[in-house]
């Protein structure tokens, strides 16, 4: 029996896996706006971590025929998760994990200064060999071709952001599973270059639909149709950004593992490794039709697919296996989902609250991360319970180290 709720709209229905969790009125309105678009196929799916976003709702799965909505894909194109299992156990970890956290922070640039540029501590100032090799091997030529057509896209940190973490809810963690095996896990995407591509094509879509914007329920839902002037260029650019994001996570994970090998007992990587997007668009086959599936804050969960659903700085995370539920377009949530805005979290919680919520975890406990405190997110247990027909839990992880930008 399906655990989702069905909401009728003036367009296609919304199927929402939100039983036991809240869905804010603003997010519901955004879902209804998307459902009214003529390009949307069959229904919109809302995951239990659903919350208000820009244009389209975070935690939504949007199937479209012959068109893509750039704002639904968003500006953190290809953002996602990576996790690797190791042969280490909790008993082999040192009593203090501060040196391990410091080593990871030194190995992976994270955060940024207000002025960006050469003072940006979240970018490479001297690109290391492995990053340079990855850029030249898999990314540079194709990106140069994109920039030839759209020169504005080449004006920023592209190679210098590859293999770096970023800010906000991006993180690197050391975790223990239910067997006390050690895992490394991280969350990041396409960094500045993905933001630039997303922002640029969102504006192009608005210009292309200028005469029709008044017909849209939200101007941020402007879309490219197949055959339109910029459709193929957007597909090429967004596909490249998604590959950049996956490469970015792999390079960071390599750096994290190398840093840990210098600080911890000898270990090898285990059998399980997952590298999955949760902000992206892909061509897929559903209900007998080939459609574009945009997952904005959602993970692909086909039958047997492994995915990652993180909690928050003080909550558990999960390695999951998809059940291939067709009504969700084979998708699941991408995390716990925010329960409030960042500004509201800063108003509501203190440094003391945050320190108590992250007790026993080696992490930042200062005012600059209050907006990421665990209570700013929905309870992960309720989120997992709401999607029992979408995924099964393979491993349950609890973090012992968390690095935030």
pLDDT digits (tens, 9 = 90+) for 31-49: 999 999 999 999 999 999 9
Give the total residue count for the chain.
405
**Looking at the predicted structure, is the pLDDT value of residue 279 above 80?**
yes
- Give residue-wise pLDDT tens across range 181-220: 999 999 999 999 999 999 999 999 999 888 777 788 889 9
DSSP 261-300: HHHSS---EEEEEEEEESEEEEEEEETTEEEEEEEESEEE
Residue 4 appears among annotated catalytic residues: no
* pLDDT value for 111: 87
| Average pLDDT value for residue range 42-61 | 94
Answer whether 184's CB lies under 8 Å from 194's CB.
no
* Band of residue 115 on the pLDDT scale cut at 50, 70, 90: very low
Answer whether 244's CB lies under 8 Å from 236's CB.
no
Q: Which of 43, 161, 334, 395 is catalytic?
A: 334
pTM of the predicted model, to two decimals? 0.94
* Burial of 155 (C-beta count, 10 Å sphere; 0-12/13-18/19+): exposed
- Give residue-wise pLDDT tens across range 380-398: 999 999 999 999 999 999 9
Lowest mean pLDDT among 103-117, 202-216, 300-314, 374-388: 103-117
Other CB atoms within 10 A of residue 325 CB: 23
**Looking at the predicted structure, is the pLDDT value of residue 264 above 60?**
yes
* pLDDT value for 139: 82
Domains of the chain: 5-339+377-404 (3.90.1860.10)
Task: Give residue for tokens 């491993």.
Answer: 395
């Amino acid at each position: 029996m399906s655990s989702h709720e069905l909401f009728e709209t003036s367009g296609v229905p919304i199927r929402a896996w939100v039983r036991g969790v809240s869905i804010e009125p603003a997010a519901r309105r955004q879902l209804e706006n998307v459902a009214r678009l003529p390009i949307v196929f069959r229904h919109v799916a809302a995951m239990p971590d659903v919350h208000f976003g820009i244009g389209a709702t975070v935690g939504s799965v949007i199937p479209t025929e012959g068109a893509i909505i750039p704002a639904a894909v968003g500006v953190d194109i290809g953002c996602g998760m990576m996790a690797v299992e190791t042969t280490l156990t909790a008993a082999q970890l040192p009593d203090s994990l501060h040196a391990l956290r410091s080593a990871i922070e030194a190995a992976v640039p994270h955060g940024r200064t207000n002025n960006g540029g050469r003072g940006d501590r979240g970018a490479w100032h001297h690109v290391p060999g492995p990053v340079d090799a990855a850029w030249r091997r898999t990314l540079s030529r194709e990106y140069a071709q994109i920039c030839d057509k759209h020169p504005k896209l080449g004006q920023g940190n592209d190679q210098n952001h590859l293999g770096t973490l970023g800010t906000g809810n991006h993180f690197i963690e050391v975790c223990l599973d239910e067997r006390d095996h050690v895992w490394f896990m991280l969350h990041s995407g396409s960094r500045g270059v993905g933001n630039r591509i997303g922002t640029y094509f969102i504006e192009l879509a608005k210009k292309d639909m200028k005469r029709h914007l008044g017909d849209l329920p939200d101007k941020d839902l402007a879309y490219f149709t197949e055959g339109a002037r910029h459709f193929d260029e957007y597909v090429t650019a967004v596909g490249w950004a998604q590959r950049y994001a996956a490469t970015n996570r792999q390079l960071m994970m390599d750096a994290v593992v190398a840093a840990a090998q210098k600080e911890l007992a000898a270990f090898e990587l285990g059998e399980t490794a997952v590298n999955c997007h949760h902000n992206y668009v892909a061509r897929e086959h559903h209900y007998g039709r080939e459609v574009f599936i945009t997952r904005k804050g959602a993970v692909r969960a086909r039958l047997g697919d492994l995915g990652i659903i993180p909690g928050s700085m003080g909550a558990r995370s999960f390695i999951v296996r998809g059940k291939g539920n067709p009504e969700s377009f084979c998708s699941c949530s991408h995390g716990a989902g925010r329960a409030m805005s960042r500004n509201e979290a800063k108003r509501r919680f203190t440094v003391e609250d945050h320190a108590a919520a992250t007790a026993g975890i080696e992490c930042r406990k200062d005012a600059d991360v209050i907006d990421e405190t665990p209570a700013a997110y929905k309870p992960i247990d309720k989120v997992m319970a709401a999607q029992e027909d979408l995924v099964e839990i393979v491993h349950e992880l609890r973090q012992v180290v968390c690095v935030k930008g």
